[in-house]
Amino acid sequence: MTDSSWWYARPGARGDWTCPPAPDGVRDFHASLDGYAPTPLTELPSLADQLGVGRVYVKDESSRLGLPAFKALGASWAVHRVLAERRRYGDGAPLTLVTATDGNHGRAVARTARLLGQRARVFVPRGVHPAAAAAIAAEGAEVTPVAGPYDEAVRRAAEAARGPGAVLVQDTAWPGYEEIPGWIVEGYSTLFAEIDDQLGAPDSGSPDLVAVPVGVGSLAQAAVTHYRGRPYGAAGPALLAVEPRAAACVLASLAGGEPVTVATGETAMAGLNCGTPSSIAWPHLRHGLDAAVAVTDADSARAARDLAALGVSSGPCGAASLAGVRAALTGAGARERRTALGVGAAATLVLLSTEGTAANPQSH
């Protein structure tokens, strides 16, 4: 496999392009929720030694608002905004919140619906572990299996949400459906605000590289919004997107210069098994990402084992960040890739571990 099939870099990403920051008030909203606490940012010196950098931190999202993944941040803020808009126009009737999911987002929507007295219907594509689907059903949601891939589940959910008393709460966007996905991305801003506080950034502890697992690109959009907006602007860290080789739609889109849909295969990184970038994420990804890398299931499994040995619970999607920086910073051609990312021997890396092992059970 050639470098070009699993690696893409754009060394000029941190030029003059910037974007508006996330809105104020999101973190205050999350802080008002029962069970809110910043998730750990754990320093792992042994990984820094292995990768030949100064410091490595892992943002551990294995327990976020009572769920084993970061998705509760986006779902809770988006549903809050949906209900607030309906109350504004005098409509307080219960809703059915409809979504498609590879696991974590659907469970977050279902949990939020249950806590707020709403209903939920969740479409689950092939490849999602039965235990993950059962966890969604345990939140009180109606779970609808879909024989096709994630993109087909999204289409089914969008059709179902056209019914009376239903609203689509989807974490990907397309032309004509962008407001609610935008609210979900805003919700993820809390994660990056926490990292700033934990590092003392941007004044004293700014990272040099942030690695982000990518499905449709919504979390990566939030990363770009944070690190290419105020107060970082063009001086922010390098941003590395990490995808499964079985579903590298963002890497393919970056390489082609426009959004493309790829045929997805089977991967243990179920939450990243998406074939089409979000329409609202794409401009941010195109202009704000420094690089994208695609990793194998074996790479992710090794990274998960290594993180577990260091005390961090990380599922295949969360461990993709470590797998991605290993692929980028070591092996043949590493010098050129490190140069493209601006990563030297004193660099500080932040790896987003987006889920714990409980979020994505494995059959093997």
Among 136, 194, 358, 178, residue whose Cα is nearest residue 279: 178
- Give the active site residue among 3, 16, 28, 102: 102
- List the structure tokens of 91: 């409509």
| Residue owning tokens 């929720």 | 33
Among 1, 9, 41, residue whose Cα is nearest residue 251: 9
- Tell me 272's DSSP state: G
**Residues 347, 208 contacting (CB under 8 angstroms):** yes
| Residue owning tokens 């050129």 | 336
**CA–CA dist 20, 9 (Å, integer):** 24
**Residues 256, 344 contacting (CB under 8 angstroms):** no
Q: Is 71 a catalytic residue?
A: yes
Q: Between β-strands 55-60 and 41-43, what pairing exists: parallel, antiparallel or unpaired?
A: antiparallel
Q: Is 196 a catalytic residue?
A: no
- Give the active site residue among 59, 60, 71, 299: 71
- List the structure tokens of 279: 């329409």
Strands (E) across the chain are located at 7-9, 41-43, 55-60, 96-100, 119-124, 142-145, 166-168, 209-213, 238-244, 291-295, 348-353
Which residues are known catalytic residues?
71, 102
